[in-house]
Amino acid sequence: MKHFLSRLPGLVMVLLGISLITFTLSYLAPGDRATAIAHARYPEEIAFPPELLQAIRDEFHLDAPFASQYLNWLGNVLRGDFGLSYSSQTPVWEIFTANLGETVTLAVSSLGLGLLVAFCLASLAVRNPGSWLDRGAVLLSSIGAAMPSYWLGLLLILGVAVHLGWAPSYGTGSLAHLVLPALTLAFWVMASQTRLLRSFMLEAGSQAFVETLRLRGIPEREIFVRHVLRHAMVPALTMIGLDLASLLEGAIIVELTFARSGLGSLLAGSVLSRDLPVVMFLVMFFATAYVVINSLVDAVQAASDPARNR
């Protein structure tokens, strides 16, 4: 806890930095924002009278200097007011929560599946380092790490959906629509985690205290479950925390490849339609989630590491 509190000022500074970068990006984006808002409000109109554009500029303070616009926006964000989407005129928060579920479902199901397979593979591999099973696991994880997920997605669509007809290829909806995207993402999770878990387990298993336990006649199974695993969990937890950003990125690519709805499709759609409030919120959300989760992982790790608690 003390460790976490000492990190807090730095965390606040990083969050402020994130907001500044996000706002600068949207501020520098080309195109007249007043016209974009007008287009979204009156989709059937083609040209807009200058008075209307000026009214919009006044309403959103678009003529104000950078610093005052930034502080204004930051104040709103801190109060929990993320604005209205330009195109649908509904609060950004509602659009976000409507799409969050799909992405979380995809990420959690593939993380669960991938970790499960990775755990089994790594446990089997470290039994006999250098055996064909071990080599196979390493090879599989190398291929998985190099595999472009969008390409794997296309291959799965071609093989499983088109030729075998076992699962639907594109879209969202039923549980069956989740199968191929989750498999695609789980393959990547499996690849990155197998190799990490394997090396952490090997390292933990080669330590002196494990040899002592063995000499004391503790059964191999118990050593593995009670000591090696627990020892390997601390670094593995950190890596899983760091890989969370990659998991979100992977989810976004997979969503777009399979035309699934979710945060990735929402981001791509609103970026292309210049729905800036939605874009800014999503970018802020991803960056903040990454920072907060990593701080939490860091705190958990500090609490569970006996050497640091002394």
Partner 1 sequence: MTLADIQSQSSQKPSPLLRFSRRVLMGTGFGALALCFGFWATPYGPAEADFLNRLSPPTATHWFGTDHLGRDIGTRLLFGAFWSLGLSFVISLAGLLVGTLIGLVAGATGRLPDMVLMRITDSFFAFPELIAAVTFAGLFGPSTINLVIALSLVSWMKFTRLSRSLAKSIAEQDFVIQARLNGLPAGLILLRHILPNVIPSLLVLWTSSWSRTILAVSGLSFLGFGVQPPTAEWGAMLLDGKPYMQTAPHLMIFPGLAVLISVLVINLTGDRIRDLLAKTK
Q: Binding residues for partner 1, per CB under 8 A?
A: 10, 13-14, 16-18, 20-21, 25-26, 29-30, 142-143, 145-151, 154-155, 157-158, 162, 245-246, 248-249, 252-253, 256-257, 267-268, 271-272, 274, 279, 282-283, 286-288, 290-291
Least spacing, CB of residue 166 vs partner 1, in Å: 16
- In the complex with partner 1, the residue whose CB is nearer, 69 or 218, is 69
- For residue 31, with 0-12 CB atoms within 10 Å meaning exposed, 13-18 middle and 19 or more buried, which class applies? exposed
- In the complex with partner 1, the residue whose CB is nearer, 16 or 108, is 16
- In the complex with partner 1, the residue whose CB is nearer, 8 or 162, is 162
Distance separating alpha carbons of residues 201 and 227, to the nearest angstrom: 10
Sign for the pseudo-dihedral over CA of 97, 103, 109, 112: negative
Q: Collapse the DSSP code of 84 into the 3-class scheme (helix H, G, I; strand E, B; otherwise coil) and give the result.
A: strand
Tokens of 13: 């500074």
Residue 267 contacts residue 232 (beta carbons within 8 Å): no
Tokens of 226: 């009670």
Least spacing, CB of residue 140 vs partner 1, in Å: 12
Least spacing, CB of residue 53 vs partner 1, in Å: 20
Least spacing, CB of residue 55 vs partner 1, in Å: 25
- In the complex with partner 1, the residue whose CB is nearer, 202 or 268, is 268
- In the complex with partner 1, the residue whose CB is nearer, 29 or 55, is 29
- For residue 291, with 0-12 CB atoms within 10 Å meaning exposed, 13-18 middle and 19 or more buried, which class applies? middle
Least spacing, CB of residue 22 vs partner 1, in Å: 8
